[in-house]
Structure 1
């Protein structure tokens, strides 16, 4: 999620000007693993739904469960997230300890295949996510396995 949600201030003008042109490609729909080691372990998961909604979860800096919801869409060569809200739950008590929203952002699409999506964040760093399932869900399973 660091790469996905780290670029919060990117390309607002593109999203604002082209919001009506967004697409939700079927090959993006499903549950994906954010990984820095080719998908061997996952630092977070994102589910992309056909209606343009998204659900993600990861571990916060404090070690708590972080759940994120929002909307997604592709605009030309960009994958954008909007209407982002998050909730953070204590890892021991499962009580809500923090919540809020984040600014909309876009990442540059480098490649989108059936099993791997490569994108470039606002700092120019490339990241990959790997398909786990063709079916998106809003569960917090499997557990985050690290970076």
Structure 2
């Protein structure tokens, strides 16, 4: 009888113990319009909750760098208001500072190569994981679809 109760306990506890831990976006990701062949923005999600971003809008002749904080609760990944510094490509002359409003996205999947999520407006986004130690290719074309 004791063996039956122990077995029953283990079987009923298995789904609770086997539930996967939420996967987080910690790492460096590429935002791309061509499935990761080229990138117009790099985002680095750090384990301490810091988010760093950099990229270029070559069509506008501008580059940008910024930082924010991020957190994840279940399938909701939230980013605080993001401060962005913009500069002219070539000269590096500072252009100005901008802020992107805070938002929470719904995480659809995160795996070794992809981070897919839905923005609050329903738009789907996909990021591509990159090696954080690899040089970032700044031949970027933001906004060009």
Distance in 2 of aligned mates of 1:117 and 1:86:
22
> Counterpart in 2 of 1:142?
137
Q: Is the 8 A contact 1:119 1:128 kept in 2?
A: yes
TM-score by length of 2: 0.72
Q: Is the 8 A contact 1:117 1:129 kept in 2?
A: yes
Q: Which residue of the other structure, out of 74, 84, 87, is the alignment partner of 1:86?
A: 84
Distance in 2 of aligned mates of 1:136 and 1:72:
22
Are residues 41 and 118 of structure 1, via their aligned partners in 2, closer, same or farther at CA, if it must alter by over 3 Å?
same
Q: Which residue of the other structure, out of 29, 32, 35, is the alignment partner of 1:35?
A: 32
Distance in 1 of aligned mates of 2:29 and 2:122:
21
Query: In terms of Rg, which structure is larger?
Result: 2
Q: Which residue of the other structure, out of 58, 62, 65, is the alignment partner of 2:63?
A: 65
> Counterpart in 2 of 1:96?
94
SS of the equivalent of 1:40 reads: coil
Distance in 2 of aligned mates of 1:141 and 1:101:
24
What are the ranges of 5 or more consecutive residues in structure 2 without an aligned counterpart?
1-21
Shift of residue 144, structure 1, vs aligned partner: 4.3
After TM superposition, what 4+ stretches of structure 1 lie above 6 angstroms from structure 2?
Answer: none
Shift of residue 101, structure 1, vs aligned partner: 2.5
User: How big is the alpha-carbon RMSD for the aligned residues of Structure 1 and Structure 2?
Assistant: 2.3
State the structure with bigger RCO (CA 8 A, min sep 6), 1 or 2.
1
Q: Which residue of the other structure, out of 49, 52, 63, is the alignment partner of 1:52?
A: 49
Shift of residue 136, structure 1, vs aligned partner: 7.5
TM-score by length of 1: 0.71
